[in-house]
Amino acid sequence: MFDNQAMGISHFIKEIGRGKQGARDLSREQAHELMGLVLDGAVTDLELGAFCVAMRIKGETPEEMAGFLDATHERLTRLPNTSKQPVIVLPSYNGSRRLPLLTPLLALLLAREGWAVLVHGGNTEDQRVATADVMLALGLPVLQHVRELAAGEAVFAPTALLCPGLWRLLEVRRSVGLRNPGHSMVKLMDPIEGPSLQVASYTHPEYAVSMRDTLQLLNANALLLRGTEGEPVADFRRAPNMLALLHGVAEETTAAASNVVELLNLPNGLNAADTAQLIQGMLQGDTPIPLPLQLQVATLSALAQRIHAP
């Protein structure tokens, strides 16, 4: 049992909970300690709710997010990768409210190129179509235990399998109704022990800078882009603007210069079964694959090859 009085986070809440103007930022080390206590369950429900609301008002700095992720990575049950070839990681937590959910399509296109692909996620909003449901409808495996992935394999891993404490943090949204740092952490964490390539997505342009800075602090291999409704898949309605990072060093991608895309009239409001049918049609060539997704796959494959190179 944890002694919440001795190990609580009230002293951190006093710093971050002074309102948008009076709140003080934490150092990376302080953020690491704070998130460690949260993930270990060493806080009361009241403290956990106060932390989530305070950080929602204040917002996370890149240093704080890096510290949160340091604690998360220490507690993740990571999938081993003994190959020199990176596993491509797609975090999927937003799901689809209106547009077709094409994250499983991205995973299958990358697997068809010969890459091992891990999609991880969880549904904290029941009103949205979830990636796990679409992948199940496509007959793709949902991991029940951590294992190494084979080249050309696309699988889904629930967050609760990777880090139960992190899933508890994400579930606070059901009670509080607000996003919290966990929803940003899952888009930047690396659940692979060995070579990996993360796909990080943002919903609003202002997040692009803070996410880039955090990935740089973590020396990550990543592709950062504005996704579709918060998913890590390029929006089929616009030219993709993507930023590549190799060992934390940022560089523009060639696809970012493209300003002409082939717009498709895809149906909106699809359920999981209909989404799976749409994806199967694209894989079989009956429906065109959106050009932004083709550019994203080509960019990720080129980046992965550079990571794979000895």
Containing 187, the helix (H) or strand (E) segment is none
pTM: 0.92
- pLDDT for 123: 82
Residue 228 — φ and ψ, nearest 5°?
-100, 110
The full DSSP string for 226-256 is EEETTEEEE-TTS---EEEEETTEEEE-GGG
- pLDDT for 4: 38
The full DSSP string for 70-97 is HHHHHH--PEE--SSSPEEEEEE-S-BS
- Taken in order of first residue, the domains within the chain and their CATH numbers are 4-75 (1.20.970.10), 79-308 (3.40.1030.10)
- pLDDT for 309: 57
Under-70 pLDDT residues of the chain:
1-7, 20, 254-263, 308-310
DSSP state of 267: P
Burial class of residue 18, CB neighbours in 10 A (0-12, 13-18, 19+): middle
Q: What is the pLDDT of residues 33-64, one digit of tens each?
A: 999 999 999 999 999 999 999 999 999 999 99
- pLDDT for 5: 41
Q: What is the pLDDT of residues 283-293, one digit of tens each?
A: 999 999 999 99
- pLDDT for 256: 47
Strand partners, 198: 89, 222
- pLDDT for 263: 61
Tokens of 117: 């692909």
- pLDDT for 6: 43
Tell me how many helices (H) and strands (E) the chain has.
14, 10
